[in-house]
Amino acid sequence: MKTKQGHEKVHLIGESAGGNLVTVVAALVCNPKALAEFAKRCQQLYGFQENVEEWQYPQISSVSSWYGILDTKAWKNARWLWFGLNWVYDAHRDFTPMPSIMKRGQEFKWQLHNSQLSIEQKHRRIERHTDPFMTLMCMLDRIIEYPPCFLAAGSSDPLGLEYSSTAAYEALQEKFPNRHENKKLMLEIKNAGHAYCGLPPMVLYFLHGPNWRQNGQATTFNTIDFIDANR
């Protein structure tokens, strides 16, 4: 964006998995040592040959996450749909679904093994485990600098991601004291579920009922105010 479009400053916003992406990208761009480690890891494990640590990046003025996936632990067992995230993010476990003969109302049984899963890729073995760059919280020890951050989530999120946002907020507040007082770090938990912003009105009404507009508008306006305060 800086090299081709000439943008010197940007604000990053993402929802759900996009919240995961923008918070990690902000951590990488603002911490060159972590970015260099990330680039080396991509080259070694996946054969990615771009020297991303040498790219020219715009300054990240702020990052906003709406119900983002910001850690790998806080949401576990928190809500009924947490296992959906587990399939993606609990990569250090070897899991095998075992939907034995099911009766109505019977819970699915999963066979979980606390072991590493090895896969063959391009004639070499890669040990799969929790990637140190998977989420913002995974990167916490590598973070020295971080832009102003706005975290929003819903208190009835079926994925339990309000716990993820809260955990990230508390960790950042501990790492960067006084940011909340200076409005450089903010947490907003609405009485809402998942994806209460950014979807077509009919879908939002179906998912969240008649209050979808109030929740969506409030978070949108608060995000705009946060961006405006951190230009």
Comparing 148 with 72, which gets the higher pLDDT? 148
- Cα(118)–Cα(142) distance, rounded to whole angstroms? 26
Domain ranges, residue 162? 2-76+132-229
At 36-56, the pLDDT tens digits run 999 998 888 778 888 899 999
Could you tell me the CATH number of the domain that includes residue 68? Answer: 3.40.50
- Residues 141-157: what's their mean pLDDT? 95
Residue 106 banded pLDDT, cuts 50, 70, 90: very low
Q: Does one domain contain both 88 and 196?
A: no
Residue of 190, 169, 167 lying closest to 179 (CA atoms): 169
Helix axes 17-30, 32-46, angle to 10 degrees: 120
Q: Does one domain contain both 64 and 154?
A: yes
Mean pLDDT of the chain: 81
Domains held by the chain: number: 2
pTM: 0.80
Under 8 Å between Cβ of 151 and 187: yes
pLDDT at 119: 41
At 167-197, the pLDDT tens digits run 999 999 999 998 988 889 999 998 888 888 8
Q: CA 207 → CA 97, 179, 199, 210, 221, distances in Å?
A: 28, 34, 10, 10, 21
Phi, psi of 24 (to 5 degrees): -70, -45
pLDDT at 86: 78
Q: Does one domain contain both 191 and 147?
A: yes
Q: Does one domain contain both 168 and 216?
A: yes
At 113-139, the pLDDT tens digits run 333 434 443 333 344 455 788 899 999
Under 8 Å between Cβ of 78 and 69: no
Q: Does one domain contain both 142 and 97?
A: no
